[in-house]
Chain A
């Protein structure tokens, strides 16, 4: 394999591993605040128990996000030196503001939030929780501004081959930013909703009937039932925005080879890039036209308009279907779960098992969605400004390959350890709740 492909796989592996954890911490920070505020308001111990359990998951996820994020900050330079050389004047300030307004905030107050319980007054601890949640969201804001600008760049001019900012307002509020940001924040909400519900269902199935388990389960279901439909709406709006600014991506998502009207919605197909057609199509007539143009006979741009300049079709096409399929399943679980809670006050056992199966469904949908949008931008790294190939560096393929293997081994091991630890924590949930101090054994002198 050549260096470019290896560099892309390496960066993709790292960024895919990384995004799993911010997807959890962004929303989980606010959920922890909710638990804390419920406890402050009601004095009910179950909210404190919920906080104590989930703050551990948060701490673990946060550490995973930090270490893989540091790797990413280096890989910008090692894998894509051309990126900063060409658009550094835009990307630089955005990244700098992320470090300055988000990273230090969350890292410092995380220490107080995790370990400051007995050392600071309650309001300071609540304040630290607010700042950590705010920091994770700020971090998402800046990085999504930059990512969206790479998709729909504006507010700059090229001088001697280098981008110079002319209008920072236009750069920050570029056309795809509001859609991508809200879609990602809601993705985080749903990922956490199913993590909360799935782990709680698993604890319930193992006979753990602590009030906190049911309270968290209910929180997760409500988040899913409310967030799921909103996400479908946001996703649709994001798709229409993409149709306007990156039609080639939408053509690949729909597997639409020719510009035409009355385009069917493909439920399944195998796109054949060589023959420029699909095999084994299963389609709903007029579906794609209806969704994209809100008219049965509406014309949808096809890949023929972008020959030689469009993304690889198959990964975008399948990624989109995996994302939407998982999303629909999540919506169904949220609504059915909420219905049961509302009508019967409890969930049937089979539903509990279903939720266990859905525990990490948010990861699947989020990753699939990111593959759609990022592969869908190819061959560009910054649309119309810089191709991915132009940004690659001089590092030989052998070095990239060796380190890629090293990263992959570490990531697989850590992911297994992460999931294993969460289930172990869940299995010990009741013991841990009854025995504060189990984090560090044998405290001789408690302050």
Chain B
């Protein structure tokens, strides 16, 4: 098969697809994991069931974006995949155990024969969600620092781990504001209010540290005229944080107005932050070591995948929208029939 594009463009397209998959994953599984992190705050059994019901039909497909993201890294940038996953060997393993517990606990709790067993799987669900969120944040921290070692790097990774867990809790709460009602919704508004300010601090911290540790990234952001072209990014982020924070102060509104807004605000915040990171690191897939061109697979193979992806990805997005419509609105009880 002959490439139908100039071959040097293929890695760029695949980097874009991979970044998009990871962003989709972080947003989508972010709200699932966030609900898992928040579950221990609720003691009423019916409310706990409702929280789980709010993510029930979605979590599986949400997690598939992780498979696509890491799969694209694997197939499009094989040497980078090897470097990154061997450098992050332990946190990856811990994340996988967390995701495993979270995923199966969901099924097991639904089939538990008594409350005690159900609670045990709830613990596994919470532990799995928290572990997965923390280890993903830890990996993000290490990645941002280019896998540097030493106590400062470890401290940064630890902060990043907590930061991402808070970010997930925030988007999870925002999801619950949209998908639940009554007392549970009011609780969710409270959690979102609590989480949004540390989230802002976390975004600020990562944004400040990245250019400081890498002169190349500093150059990228603070040279002329980039600094003006990029200025909207932090400004919009700050405006969003203030806007959503202010909105949360006044929620809930009569008739449940604007219930979707915190969630889409969170999506916008995640996307902007992610775009900033992408701008900082492009074209490196392993920070400061491997560019996307150095690690890309053969153009023939990439073309073949791209040809399929062009047809299939819109279909995937189409039936994802269908599923969202079918399970739109407030979470009700979740039964198999």
Contacts and interface: CB of A to CB of B under 8 A. Distances in A.
B82 to A, nearest CB: 3
A424 B67 contact: no
Given A85-B78, A100-B316, A67 B85 contact: no
A92 B61 contact: no
B320 A108 contact: yes
Interface in A114-147: 114-120
Interface string B67-110: 11011111110110111111001101110110111011011101
B67 A440 contact: no
A89 interface: yes
Interface in B51-75: 53, 56-58, 60-61, 63-64, 66-68, 70-75
A69 B100 CA distance: 10
B327 interface: yes
B93 A446 contact: no
Contacts of A443: 332-333, 335
Classify chain A: how many residues form its interface, as a range: 35 or more
B229 interface: no
B304 interface: yes
Given A115-B57, A414-B104, A96 B326 contact: no
Contacts of A437: 333, 335
Interface stretch (B206-214, B215-223, B249-257, B295-303): B295-303
Contact of A99 (B53, B60, B67, B334): B67
A440 B334 contact: yes
Contacts of A117: 335-337
Contact of B97 (A63, A92, A93, A410): A410
B42 interface: no
Contacts, number: 247
A49 B163 CA distance: 47
A439 B67 contact: no
A116 B326 contact: yes
A340 interface: no
Interface string A430-447: 000000110111111111
Contact of B335 (A66, A115, A414): A115
A444 B46 contact: yes
Contacts of A100: 68, 308-309, 312-313, 316
A395 interface: yes
B111 A119 contact: no
A407 B98 CA distance: 11
B61 to A, nearest CB: 4
Given A78-B85, A394-B86, A395-B86, A96 B75 contact: yes
Contacts of A70: 63, 66-67, 96, 99-100
Nearest to A396: B89
A99 B18 CA distance: 13
A99 B78 contact: no
Contacts of A410: 97, 100-101
Given A92-B297, A406-B93, A77 B82 contact: yes
Interface in B198-249: none
Interface in A361-412: 393-395, 399, 402-403, 406-407, 410
A267 interface: no
B79 A85 contact: yes
Top-8 shortest CB links A-B: A92-B75, A81-B82, A111-B57, A443-B333, A77-B85, A84-B78, A88-B78, A403-B93
Interface of A: 52, 55-56, 59-60, 62-64, 66-71, 73-74, 76-78, 81-82, 84-85, 88-93, 95-97, 99-101, 103-105, 107-112, 114-120, 162, 164-165, 168, 393-395, 399, 402-403, 406-407, 410, 414, 417, 421, 424-425, 428, 436-437, 439-447
13 contacts: A52-B336, A66-B103, A74-B85, A93-B301, A96-B305, A99-B64, A100-B312, A108-B322, A119-B327, A168-B304, A399-B89, A406-B97, A417-B108
